[in-house]
Amino acid sequence: MIPEQVKLVQQSFAKVAPIADQAAVIFYNRLFEITPQVKAMFPADMTEQRKKLMATLAVVVNGMSNLESVLPAAEALAKRHVAYGVKAEHYPIVGSALLWTLEKGLGSDWTPDVAKAWTAAYTTLSGFMIEQAYAHP
């Protein structure tokens, strides 16, 4: 990712942060709509899960200026997700739900450049997580 993309991701996330819980609801609703079979991986009460999602996103987004600083936590998260039943093929679906959520949450602030920046960010991080979780026995 280039510095301009990092800045766009961070600026756009700052606009979503005030509606964090609403954004998390939209995200999970979309995820379960497009992949209903993953709903069984989650608790019935999603309150804490929504908080964890937004807190994790905040850490990652804020750490993007120094991506190496968030990679150990991303690796640990990826390995924990394997135990929950997450498969490598789930990552693009989650990415799709995330981008869709950001588009809805940002409205007119969801520009082609912002979309490209978020796509690059998610692709970079999810690629790393997939490699760490599934490429090493």
Q: How many other CB atoms are there within 10 angstroms of residue 30's CB atom?
A: 19
Give me the pLDDT at residue 46, please.
Answer: 95
Task: Tell me: pLDDT of 105 over 80.
Answer: yes
Determine the Cα–Cα distance for residues 20 and 24; give it in Å rounded to an integer: 6
Give me the pLDDT at residue 135, please.
Answer: 85
Give me the pLDDT at residue 67, please.
Answer: 86
Domain that holds residue 121: 3-134
Q: What's the total number of domains in the chain?
A: 1
Q: Is the dihedral of CA 92, 98, 102, 104 positive or negative?
A: positive
What does pLDDT average to over the chain?
93
Task: Tell me: pLDDT of 137 over 70.
Answer: no
Taking residues 106-127, what's their average pLDDT? 96
Determine the Cα–Cα distance for residues 107 and 133; give it in Å rounded to an integer: 34
Q: Is 84 exposed, middle or buried (0-12, 13-18, 19+ CB in 10 A)?
A: exposed
Domain harbouring 88, CATH code: 1.10.490.10
pTM, full prediction: 0.91
Taking residues 18-28, what's their average pLDDT? 95
